[in-house]
A and B are shown apart, each in its own frame.
Chain A
Amino acid sequence: MSFVKNARLLAARGARLAQNRSYSDEMKLTFAAANKTFYDAAVVRQIDVPSFSGSFGILAKHVPTLAVLKPGVVQVVENDGKTLKFFVSSGSVTVNEDSSVQVLAEEAHNIEDIDANEARQLLAKYQSQLSSAGDEKAKAQAAIAVEVAEALVKAAE
């Protein structure tokens, strides 16, 4: 009896929540970095972001989320189907209840602006720095640089 009552209460609450949540069919993207603003509350179809908790795609009505960016490619599918790729160093991504999304990066560039040869050279440079690093901190810093360089090489291919 009490189970049925509880279930009814929960169902009523769920329905109310669904009404109150102003999920929008449109997704507004704000994508900015210290160097440039790429999108300012622009309506887009889909966004794929690399994060420490895994890469994921965002569509309108995505559940509210906070995540930390890892070095990699952010892919934006605009409403006309055009797909653009950007490389982000790091930063954060916020998905709000109203389907607005903020991608804030420390450094972000169009993928065409990455020099593939330079990325490969940087990878080699930081790999040797990693193997010759003396203390643990220097080693960790070199390892971060290697991780970023690897992501750059992969993205620029």
Chain B
Amino acid sequence: MKAWRDVGITYIQYSNIAARVVREALRIELRADAAKRNISIVKFTPWVNGKPVPRKKVERDSES
């Protein structure tokens, strides 16, 4: 099998790296806009006793 499989990298992580490299290789005028997709934003809204408590924002690099 693929070497990356052996060190615990999943296809999703593989895909993230591949997508990032493709974005880096775009024509210069497209690159800045594409780089915005390197980051994924996840919003969590915890609910306590039927009410949402203030929102937390978690940002991460798409690779981690």
Contacts and interface: CB of A to CB of B under 8 A. Distances in A.
Interface string B1-44: 00110111101001111110111111110100010010000000
B22 A109 contact: yes
A90 B18 contact: yes
- Interface residues of chain B: helix, strand, loop or mixed (majority): helix
Given A68-B11, A137-B9, A113 B30 contact: yes
Interface stretch (A6-14, A40-48, A140-148): A140-148
A87 B24 CA distance: 13
Nearest to B28: A115
Given A113-B30, A149-B25, A71 B9 contact: no
B4 A144 contact: yes
Size bracket, chain B contacts? 20 to 34
Contacts, number: 87
Contact of B17 (A68, A109, A119, A145): A145
Interface of B: 3-4, 6-9, 11, 14-19, 21-28, 30, 34, 37, 63
Contact of A122 (B6, B24, B34): B24
A31 interface: no
Contacts of B15: 89-91, 106
